[in-house]
Amino acid sequence: MRASDRAYQALRDDIVEWRLPPGTVLGEVEQAERLGVSRTPLREALGRLTAEGLAAPHSGRGVVVTAISLDHAVELFELRSALECQAASLAARRGKREQFRSLQQEFDSAAALLRGDDPDRHRYYELVARLDTDIDEAAANTYLSQALKNLRVHLVRIRRLAKDNPDRLLASATEHANIAGAIAEGDGQLAAAATLLHLHNSLDHLKSTQQSTPQSSERTAS
Amino acid sequence: MRASDRAYQALRDDIVEWRLPPGTVLGEVEQAERLGVSRTPLREALGRLTAEGLAAPHSGRGVVVTAISLDHAVELFELRSALECQAASLAARRGKREQFRSLQQEFDSAAALLRGDDPDRHRYYELVARLDTDIDEAAANTYLSQALKNLRVHLVRIRRLAKDNPDRLLASATEHANIAGAIAEGDGQLAAAATLLHLHNSLDHLKSTQQSTPQSSERTAS
DNA sequence: GCTAACTCGAGTGTATACACAAAATCCCTA
DNA sequence: TAGGGATTTTGTGTATACACTCGAGTTAGC
């Protein structure tokens, strides 16, 4: 693997895992030494991060890790709903019905999984990821997929703000089942509606957990 | 201005203006010499172009200008409608009414402009650009704006495929007036609907001009 | 005669050196 | 003592050199 790819992945992981919190200045020499690569590939990595919006130029001198807060989450979900509703709608029109019918059934039975402990919960997250991937593929739209891919980087980062609780996960499974079901029916409008509902509830949940523990305001001012 | 910025803008312009047609191999040394910069800033420029989707890695060796065809236009408009409908809807909720009311009036009277010759037509395009900008601003969503900005680069490229005809421009002015009017009313649903209609008609027009002169298939195979 | 392997070349990936710009610190002056 | 200017330092922007990889062409062997 190329040094620039390694640097990019390392930095990206460090940012989305909050090991490099928002506001951190990413000096070229400093990061190059830390990651054991030269400045040239590291600059390429920083360029990619900047293009994705994970980092931003800092007053002419270096780049900083961009801030992420509840306000950003609201904006992010406005973009997300537009993209995912469209994706779901297109998938309903173009996807294979059996594929999404079976996903729906998996989500229906996932309720059982979620009563278990962490290993099972991990399998649930994999299932969600599979639905996303399959919708992407069924939508068969390169540009839309690319936009969603860019978006998901930020969503991973946001996820650290939310605390999953069992009730929400259970509701989420039902919502996902509804989405998969609507796509399986080939009903684009319904699929978009189910997606919108799911995203609305997800954001609501995020807001409620944030209001009770507003711990992120320490960095967002930078 | 930085050398990497100059190289990026030059390459970007050359691509969207079809001076570098799809399939063109962008060799680093070759382009660096042509643009009078070193390989280092040119690599940065190529990286940005690749991130935007204007260029793509070419079998592990160099990058090529990506293909753009009617099929791509269809996909592009599927993404575009999702983004612009959302933007229009948010603008209706958050924008200043008088601002869009006045834009609506300008579009209403633009019909007169379009009967004139090219200088006036240029002013019409500026008006369209201003509506886009104002919607962007009123939507007040960084991520959405960024996604739209990325998208518009490709749209400029597509525009070269279409031939504007006076009838279409006249209809387009009316559609834009409808969009501005709906936003001025604060009616998000209506604004989204008007936007969707406009985009549908635009794509239809593109398709019809393409079917009559399918001259672009020469390069799309590469 | 055809296929496979080796060699040569072109072009990319990476490292490093150098130049320039900006920010911070220190010293001098008021 | 405070403020401003100059100098130093740090960090980025650019150029270039070197190494490595991939591909094409040629030659040799079957």
pLDDT tens per residue, chain B (222 residues)? 889 999 999 999 999 999 999 999 999 999 999 999 999 999 999 999 999 999 999 876 789 999 999 999 999 999 999 999 999 999 999 999 999 999 999 999 987 777 776 766 888 999 999 999 999 999 999 999 999 999 999 999 998 888 888 889 999 999 999 999 999 999 999 999 999 999 999 999 999 987 776 554 344 333
Nearest CB to B47 within list A48, A83, A85: A48
Please provide residue A128's backbone torsions phi and psi, each rounded to the nearest 5 degrees.
Answer: -60, -45
Same domain, A84 and A23: no
Q: Dihedrals φ, ψ of B21, to 5°?
A: -70, 160
> Is residue B220 situated within a structural domain?
no
What three-state secondary structure class fits A220?
coil
CATH number for position A184: 1.20.120.530
Look at residue A220 and tell me if it is in a domain.
no
Q: What's the whole-number mean pLDDT along residues A107-117?
A: 81
DSSP B25-71: EE-HHHHHHHHT--HHHHHHHHHHHHHHTSEEE-TTSSEEEPP--HH
Q: Are B80 and B165 contained in the same domain?
A: yes
What is the structure's pLDDT at B130?
97
Whether B219 is covered by a domain: the verdict is: no
Print the domain residue range for B143. 70-213
Asked if the Cβ–Cβ distance from A53 to B143 is below 8 Å, we say yes
Q: Are residues B101 and B33 in the same domain?
A: no
A94 touches chain B (CB under 8 A): no
User: Could you tell me if residue B195 is inside a domain?
Assistant: yes
Nucleotide in closest CA–C1' contact with B61: C12
On whether residue B87 sits in a domain, the answer given is yes
Q: Inform me whether the pLDDT recorded for A79 exceeds 90.
A: yes
**Shared-domain flag, residues B182 and B82:** yes
Q: Which residue has the higher pLDDT, B222 or A82?
A: A82
The reply to whether B45 and B150 lie within a common domain is no
Query: Same domain, yes or no, for B90 and B196?
Result: yes
How many distinct structural domains can be found in chain A? 2
Which of A46, A65, A84 is at the close of a domain?
A: A65
- Reduce the DSSP state of residue B161 to 3 states and report it: coil
Give the closest of B78, B81, B147 to A79, CB-based.
B147
Instruction: Answer yes or no: do A36 and A121 share one domain.
Output: no
Residue A44: list chain B partners with CB under 8 A. 43-44, 47
Determine the pLDDT at residue A114: 77
pLDDT at residue B160 in the model: 86
* CATH number assigned to the domain comprising residue A49: 1.10.10.10
Last residue of a domain, one of B65, B90, B107: B65
Give the distance, in angstroms, between residue B108 CA and nucleotide C24 C1'.
Answer: 58
**Chain A residues within 8 A of B86 when measuring between CB atoms:** 78-79, 81-82
- What is residue B1's predicted lDDT score, i.e. its pLDDT? 82
Which of B79, B136, B142 would you mutate first to test chain A, the one with the most A CBs within 10 A?
Answer: B79
Both B86 and B143 in a single domain? yes
